[in-house]
């Protein structure tokens, strides 16, 4: 089951990055279609694909960050239960690691939304 989830996540990441770059790949083609169509509307143009890619990318980044923080917290609680005398050191290391994961997640979301 874990392998299926990992493959699904990887596929969504690839699709998300593909949609983010779609505006560059289809920019010239989209402009020609709009010019040729005249008054016809385009269902999803370059901006729509770009927004879709941004949303998918930001969602995947947040999901990854949440999974990372959840795993850090679960492992820390399990470690504290096994060795209660080391709880203070484990708690400090957990908070520092969780802060680093959250920082990377925030950076990833900003990159997705600003590109």
Contact indicator for 54, 113 with CB cutoff of 8 Å: yes
What pLDDT shows up at residue 48?
78
CB 74 within 8 A of CB 89: no
Sequence-distant (≥ 6) Cβ neighbours of residue 53 within 8 angstroms: 16, 17, 18, 19, 20, 21, 22
Q: How far apart are CA 67 and CA 73, in angstroms?
A: 10
What is the pLDDT tens value at each position of the chain, 115 positions in all?
A: 777 777 777 777 777 666 666 555 555 555 566 555 555 555 567 777 888 888 888 989 999 999 999 999 999 999 999 999 999 999 999 999 999 999 999 999 999 888 7
């Amino acid at each position: 089951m874990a392998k299926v989830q990992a493959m699904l996540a990887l596929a969504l990441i690839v699709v998300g990055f593909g949609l983010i770059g779609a505006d560059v790949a289809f920019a010239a083609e989209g402009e020609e279609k709009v010019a040729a169509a005249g008054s016809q509307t385009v269902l999803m143009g370059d901006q729509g694909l770009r927004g879709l890619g941004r949303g998918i990318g930001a969602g995947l980044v947040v999901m990854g960050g949440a999974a990372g923080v959840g795993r850090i917290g679960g492992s820390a609680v399990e470690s504290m239960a096994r060795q209660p005398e080391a709880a203070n050191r484990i708690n400090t290391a957990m908070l520092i690691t969780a802060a680093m994961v959250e920082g990377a997640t925030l950076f990833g979301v900003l990159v997705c939304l600003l590109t």
